[in-house]
Amino acid sequence: MSRKQAAKARPPAGAKKGRRNRQPTAGPTPGTGLGLAGQLRALGLKLREVPGDGNCLFRALGDQLEGHSRNHLRHRQETVDYMIKQREDFEPFVEDDVPFEKHVTNLAKPGTFAGNDAIVAFARNNQLNVVIHQLNALLWQIRGTDKNNVRELHIAYRYGEHYDSVRRINDDSEAPAYLQMEMLCKNDLNKEEEVKLQKGDSEDEIEDEMEDAVRKVCNATGCSDIDLVSRILEVEDYNIESAIFAVFQAIEVERISTEEQCDPQSRDEKWCSRTPQEENGTGSRICGNQSLDQDEIDNNKGQARSNEENRASRSTKVSKKQKKEQQRLEKKKRQEERHRQKVLANKSDSADSRGRETDSNNHITLVKATAALNI
Q: Give the Cα separation of 180 and 148 in Å (integer).
A: 12
Burial class (CB in 10 A: 0-12, 13-18, 19+), 50: buried
Q: Residue 348's pLDDT is what?
A: 60
The residues carrying an active-site annotation are 53, 56, 162
Using the CB atoms, write b or e for 64-85: b if 16+ within 10 Å: bbeeebebbeebbebbbebbee
pLDDT for the residue 324: 74
Q: CA 358 from chain center: how many Å?
A: 16
Q: For residue 166, which of 74, 43, 27 has the smallest C-alpha distance? A: 43
Which value, to the nearest 10 degrees, does the dihedral of the CA atoms of residues 88, 146, 73, 163 take?
110
Cα atoms found within 13 Å of the Cα of residue 1, Cβ hemisphere only: 16
| 91 DSSP β-pair partners | none
pLDDT for residue 290:
46
Q: Which CATH number does 3-183+362-374 carry?
A: 3.90.70.80
Which pLDDT does position 33 carry in this prediction?
A: 47
Cα angle vertex 156, ends 136, 46, to 5°?
90
3-state secondary structure of 211: helix
- pLDDT for the residue numbered 303: 66
pLDDT of residue 106: 95
Residues of the chain with pLDDT under 70: 1-34, 185-203, 260-319, 342-343, 346-363, 370-372, 375
Stated as kind and residue range, the H or E segment containing 91 is none
For helices 116-126 and 56-66, angle between their N-to-C axes, nearest 10 degrees: 30
Taking alpha carbons only, the member of 283, 299, 369, 310 closest to residue 43 is 369
Q: What is the pTM of this model?
A: 0.49
Spacing of C-alpha 248 from chain mean position: 41
Quote the pLDDT of residue 300.
Answer: 62
Domain boundaries, the chain: 3-183+362-374
pLDDT in tens, 254-313: 777 777 666 555 544 544 444 444 444 444 443 444 444 566 656 666 666 666 666 666
Amino acid 77: pLDDT: 98
